[in-house]
Amino acid sequence: MSTALVILAAGKGTRMQSDQPKVLHQIANAPMLVHAMRSGASLSPERTIIVAGHGYDAVKSAVADYDPDATVVLQEQQNGTAHAVNVCRDVLDGFDGDVIVLFGDTPFVTGETLEQMVAARKDNAVVVLGFEAADPGKYGRLIMQGDSLEKIVEFADTSPEERAVTFCNSGVMLVQRAQLFDLIDAVQPQNAQGEYYLTDIVGIARQRGLSVTAVACDEAETLGINSRAHLAQAEAIFQSRARTELLDLGVTLQQPDTVMLSFDTVIGRDTIVEPNIYFGPGVTVESGVRLRAFSHFEGCHIAQGSIVGPYARLRPGAELSEHTHVGNFVEIKNATIGEGSKVNHLSYVGDATIGSGTNIGAGTITCNYDGVMKHHTHIGDKVFIGSNTMLIAPVSVGNEAMTGSGSVITKDVPDAALALSRTEQINKPGLARKLFEMLKMKKKKRDGER
């Protein structure tokens, strides 16, 4: 049976105290909405529909960045969850599969849980996701009779016996499309808010003799984010899970709590990650790499056997081939470093290609920006770039060439050539002593006038 994914993301989230839509606040460098989309994507849905309201244009842009094929529909007035699903009716016209309804501010429902719901749908018209709450509080209660869900009772309407129930409603549902909209048509706004609640379809389905059940998941999967405190809690949950997954996959985290990961970080086995390392989006690290302390990575790829850091920064477009060395206080951006090459000290390499077996001396800078445009630097194989070399792009250094320390390279360097660009040194005997004496007298006179 094919599946359509509907994610409700229209709420403003006033408790976030923010001008941007709640679902665009980030966890591990991705909007919480993207986390919900990733969960739903595990089902390989035929259609993905996001219901947006507040900040519609911003939500639509974020959705397009992650999944250009997803559809964003506008819920102009937020009249409840059933109303939100109902605005998807036209988009789902002609679709004959199951519809799963998720929430953009509930980012941790797992693919395994959704698969359990799909399996349960084979024998039931409606499947609800529930959880055993440590503190049920004011959650709606799921009243079960064996495997059958008899009803959902909102906290305000619970009897003392029902209030003792700890099996609670997450709001996530799975329903066949045709039945979903037939049930929604029967929902009435019989509540103080005058809203149309999706949970009401459970009672309507039961009245029509349809089978309804609930699937249980871990309570942590149902965490809804409504405040900055919840957002911080969600970040901590994500980081803890992601670190544990890496450890289980054979990655060494020397001090796990100091390593910050992104939603899409990939690290291969037998890689060693030292303390205080930050992974921004788009980082892939192959096996057998050593990432040394206090380094920052974003949008880069590091091949196996490489050593990076400490205090290194790899920016988007940095591509490190196998067995490269990038050392302390080195920044690399939009550059490819060839196999076995080394950039070990205090250098900036941007918009460049470096061949294999090349050594970049300390203090080297590829001067790639002229104030208007970026320009490329090409450095060949087995090149030695002397310390404090300025490479004024666009420029090329041939294979097995060398630059003298302190050179400013403005012209291409042929293969095997030595490039020197320094003025001749001149020594003035005794002038240093005279200059110091003159400066001291000047300082003494200045201080005496104060």
Q: What is the pLDDT of residue 9?
A: 96
Higher pLDDT, 1 or 20: 20
Residue with tokens 């919480």: 32
Residue 333 assigned as binding residue: yes
Region 395-411: mean pLDDT is 97
The dihedral built from the CA positions of residue 133, 135, 140 and 144, taken in this order, carries a sign that is positive
Residue 46 assigned as binding residue: no
Strands 212-217 and 26-27, by their bridges, are unpaired
Banded pLDDT at 117 (limits 50, 70, 90):
very high
User: Under a CB-based contact definition with an 8 Å cutoff, are residues 429 and 411 in contact?
Assistant: no
Higher pLDDT, 69 or 448: 69
Q: What count of Cα atoms within 13 Å lies in the side-chain half-sphere of residue 61?
A: 7
Residue 9 assigned as binding residue: yes
Region 87-104: mean pLDDT is 95
Residue 1 has pLDDT above 80, yes or no: no
Rounded Cα gap, residues 377 and 393, in angstroms: 5
Banded pLDDT at 447 (limits 50, 70, 90):
confident
Residue 200 assigned as binding residue: no
Helix (H), strand (E), coil (C) string for the chain:
CCEEEEEEECCCCHHHCCCCCHHHCEECCEEHHHHHHHHHHCCCCCEEEEEEECEHHHHHHHHHHHCCCCEEEECCCCCCHHHHHHCCCCCCCCCCCEEEEEECCCCCCCHHHHHHHHHHHCCCCEEEEEEECCCCCCCCEEEEECCEEEEEECHHHCCHHHHCCCEEEEEEEEEEHHHHHHHHHCCCCCCCCCCCCCCHHHHHHHHCCCCEEEEEECHHHHCCCCCHHHHHHHHHHHHHHHHHHHHHCCCEECCHHHCECCCCCEECCCCEECCCCEECCCCEECCCCEECCCCEECCCEECCCCEECCCCEECCCCEECCCCEEEECCEEEEEEECCCCEEEECCEEEEEEECCCCEECCCCEEECECCCCECCEEECCCCEECCCCEEECCEEECCCCEECCCCEECCCECCCCEECCCCCCCCCCCHHHHHHHHHHHHHHHHHHCC
Q: What is the pLDDT of residue 450?
A: 67
Q: What is the mean pLDDT of the chain?
A: 95
Is residue 162 classed exposed, middle or buried when 0-12, 13-18 and 19+ CB atoms within 10 A define those classes?
middle
Region 98-107: mean pLDDT is 96
Q: What is the pLDDT of residue 49?
A: 98
Residue 199 has pLDDT above 70, yes or no: yes
Q: What is the pLDDT of residue 211?
A: 95
- Reference 340, options 323, 361, 353, 360; nearest CA is 323
- Reference 114, options 423, 106, 272; nearest CA is 106
Region 25-47: mean pLDDT is 96
Region 61-74: mean pLDDT is 96
Lowest mean pLDDT among 145-149, 417-421, 445-449: 445-449
pLDDT tens figures, 237-267? 999 999 999 999 999 999 999 999 999 999 9
Residue 211 assigned as binding residue: no
Rounded Cα gap, residues 217 and 244, in angstroms: 20
Indicate which residue of 35, 323, 325, 345 is catalytic.
Answer: 345
pLDDT tens figures, 271-329? 999 999 999 999 999 999 999 999 999 999 999 999 999 999 999 999 999 999 999 99
Domains of the chain from N-terminus onward: 3-222 (3.90.550.10), 228-419 (2.160.10.10)
Residue 38 assigned as binding residue: no
pLDDT tens figures, 339-352? 999 999 999 999 99
pLDDT tens figures, 141-158? 999 999 999 999 888 888
Residue 190 has pLDDT above 80, yes or no: no
Q: What is the pLDDT of residue 334?
A: 98
Residue 139 assigned as binding residue: no
The yes-or-no answer on residue 301 being catalytic is no
Region 53-76: mean pLDDT is 96
Residue 29 has pLDDT above 70, yes or no: yes
Q: Which two tokens stand for residue 51?
A: 């219901």
Residue 419 assigned as binding residue: no
Residue 111 assigned as binding residue: no
Residue 422 assigned as binding residue: yes
